[in-house]
Amino acid sequence: MPSILLPDETGKLEPYRLREPANYQAPTEPFKSRILYAATHVVADPKADNSEGKPAILDWERTLAYRHHLWRYGFAVAEAMDTAQRGFGLDWAATKELIKRSVAEAKSVGGGIACGAGTDQLSEPYNALTLDDVIKAYEEQLEHIEGCGGRIILMASRALAAIAKSPDDYAKVYGHVLNQVADPVVLHWLGDMFDPKLKGYWGSADFEGAMTSMLAVIHDNQSKIDGMKMSLLDDQKEIIMRRKLPSSIKMYTGDDFNYDVLIKGDDSGFSHGLLGIFDAIAPAAAAAMKALEAGDETKYDAIFAPTVPLSRLIFETPTFFYKTGIVFMAFLNGHQDHFKMVGGLETKRSTEHLVKLFKLADASGLLNDPELAITRMKKILEGRSVSA
């Protein structure tokens, strides 16, 4: 297998020899026991000015091609979510076009898709806004998604987090918005490690209070809710919440630290998946899922085991820069020809971080073409003034 000189923690170059890729094959039939959504990244147009604060300009061909990659491995696409840089470079104008194109593409191949509806067309500062302003912003996005023929993931709102004074304000907004939807939605609880502006969401800074508030919304609107996605990076909190849900409501794990355990489940239940890490590890995750459905938990554990350290690195603090690692993986594997991102997020992880990511991706068997991965890693190192 080929090798590359990589800097160690002191900056000294050391040879690193790659392993044989796993070459996981795409499943031949849909998953039966779990619903798995991959929250998906976008590919920036490398010729455009996608620097911070600029309107996002995408490479539509590569962006949509990546969704086909995920559909081929059996995943539904969670479109226009945090992984697509909602609130971190992807503006509402680009988001609307992304949803329109992706839903049409999904229909053309029978691919599963659900789209994030938020309030990110509202501008800061939020203190002059009212709850009615938040409701109207949600309604605008709901109308767009449903008009395209998409299903909805109801995302958390920075504006609501800023102006809500109590759990009752969340109940008012969510009750009104959920009354408008045509089909049951997935509610999203995104922790402040993913977005600091969501601190205290659901009207409480502590877990118990927030959980109580969200459960009240769920119980009051059960017919309008398919499930909830929980992204707190804490498996025990998710299990507590999962056990309290009404039987008709699914738990979709958003825990990129503990997805393997949560999807496998325990005697009292399991979580479905709606995860950003699935964007990067789709071939391995699909193989693990098929092993689980074949009753081979040992193989399931063995496939997922090396991906967990990779995911924990990608999502390490500051967690909201995890998108950089997701796009880096796509670049290494040839899904895009450049390592540029909307909002300039390609600069937000250190060279040391990217080198560790390269090694852990290799250890997971997820560098599908080692020679290509080496060529691209060298390009990154050279761009960061590291000779390899």
CATH of the domain at 220: 3.20.20.70
Domain containing 243: what range?
Answer: 23-365
In a domain? residue 155? yes
In this prediction, residue 2 carries a pLDDT of: 96
Summarize the confidence of residues 4-29 as an average pLDDT: 95
In a domain? residue 381? no
In a domain? residue 192? yes
pLDDT of 362 over the 60 cut: yes
pLDDT grade, residue 257 (50/70/90)? Answer: very high
- Among left, alpha and beta (phi > 0; psi -120 to 50; other), residue 321 is alpha
136-164 confidence digits (pLDDT tens)? 999 999 999 999 999 999 999 999 999 99
Angle (CA) 14 19 23, round 5°: 145
In a domain? residue 2? no
Residue 143 is inside which H or E element, if any? helix 131-148
Q: Let me know if 68 is exposed, middle or buried by CB neighbors in 10 A (0-12, 13-18, 19+).
A: middle
Going by their DSSP bridges, the two strands 3-7 and 13-17 should be labelled as antiparallel
310-337 confidence digits (pLDDT tens)? 999 999 999 999 999 999 999 999 999 9
In a domain? residue 143? yes
65-76 confidence digits (pLDDT tens)? 999 999 999 999
pLDDT grade, residue 385 (50/70/90)? Answer: confident
Summarize the confidence of residues 344-359 as an average pLDDT: 97
* pLDDT mean across residues, the chain: 97
In this prediction, residue 74 carries a pLDDT of: 98
77-123 confidence digits (pLDDT tens)? 999 999 999 999 999 999 999 999 999 999 999 999 999 999 999 99
Percent of the chain at pLDDT > 70 equals 99
In this prediction, residue 137 carries a pLDDT of: 98
161-211 confidence digits (pLDDT tens)? 999 999 999 999 999 999 999 999 999 999 999 999 999 999 999 999 999
pLDDT of 46 over the 60 cut: yes
Q: What is the CA radius of gyration of the chain?
A: 20
For the chain, what is the domain count?
A: 1
216 close to 174: Cβ distance less than 8 angstroms: no
Can the peptide bond before residue 125 be classed as cis, meaning omega within 30 degrees of 0? yes
In a domain? residue 325? yes
Percent of the chain at pLDDT > 90 equals 98
293-314 confidence digits (pLDDT tens)? 999 999 999 999 999 999 999 9
In a domain? residue 380? no
d(CA 102, CA 91): 16
In a domain? residue 149? yes
208-234 confidence digits (pLDDT tens)? 999 999 999 999 999 999 999 999 999
